[in-house]
């Protein structure tokens, strides 16, 4: 029985049963407020369409409007196993820098998990 299963897996590997799937994240627009006693120490960057981080200017003290573009990812699958999984919701899309060094990075999933009040996400920095 096990020998048959091993043969089946090996034959499946060599006959092209591997599939590649593409996924994408939804574009996100949101407002986020960073809370700190020393906000001037921090600079906020967001990822743009080309994958570079660009400085974001605040609307008000500590309040930023963010627009994260759609990002693609994907995974490979053979039989029931997924591998080479690249989830676009796990990509770091916001960088918070303090004194020129990356202090913290956030993904789409981490942003959605932040506490929000009146459709504004809130994050304490210190």
Residue ranges per domain, the chain? 2-124
Spell out the residues 6+ positions from residue 122 whose beta carbon is closer than 8 angstroms to its own. Answer: 32, 33, 35, 114, 115, 116
**pLDDT level of residue 76 (50, 70, 90 thresholds):** confident
Q: What is the mean pLDDT of the chain?
A: 87
Confidence (pTM): 0.75
Query: How far apart are the C-alpha atoms of 124 and 4, rounded to whole Å?
Result: 57
Q: What percent of the chain has pLDDT over 70?
A: 92
Quick one: average pLDDT of 94-101? 94
pLDDT at 17: 61
Candidates 25, 58, 60, 65; CA nearest to 43 is: 58
pLDDT at 20: 77
Q: Are 35 and 44 in contact (CB under 8 A)?
A: no
Q: Which residue has the higher pLDDT, 13 or 88?
A: 88
> Which ranges in 1-126 belong to alpha helices (H)?
2-14, 108-112
């Amino acid at each position: 029985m096990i020998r048959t299963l091993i043969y089946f897996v090996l034959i499946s590997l060599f006959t092209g049963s591997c599939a590649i799937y593409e996924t994408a994240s939804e574009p996100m627009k949101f407002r986020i407020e960073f809370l700190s006693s020393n906000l001037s120490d921090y600079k906020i960057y967001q990822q743009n369409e080309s994958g570079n981080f660009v400085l974001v200017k605040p609307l008000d003290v500590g309040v930023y409007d963010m627009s994260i573009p759609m990002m693609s990812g994907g995974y490979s699958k053979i039989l029931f196993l997924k591998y080479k999984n690249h989830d676009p919701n796990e990509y770091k899309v916001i960088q918070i820098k303090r004194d020129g060094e990356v202090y913290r990075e956030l993904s789409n999933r981490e942003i959605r998990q932040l506490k929000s009040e009146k459709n504004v996400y809130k994050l304490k920095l210190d």
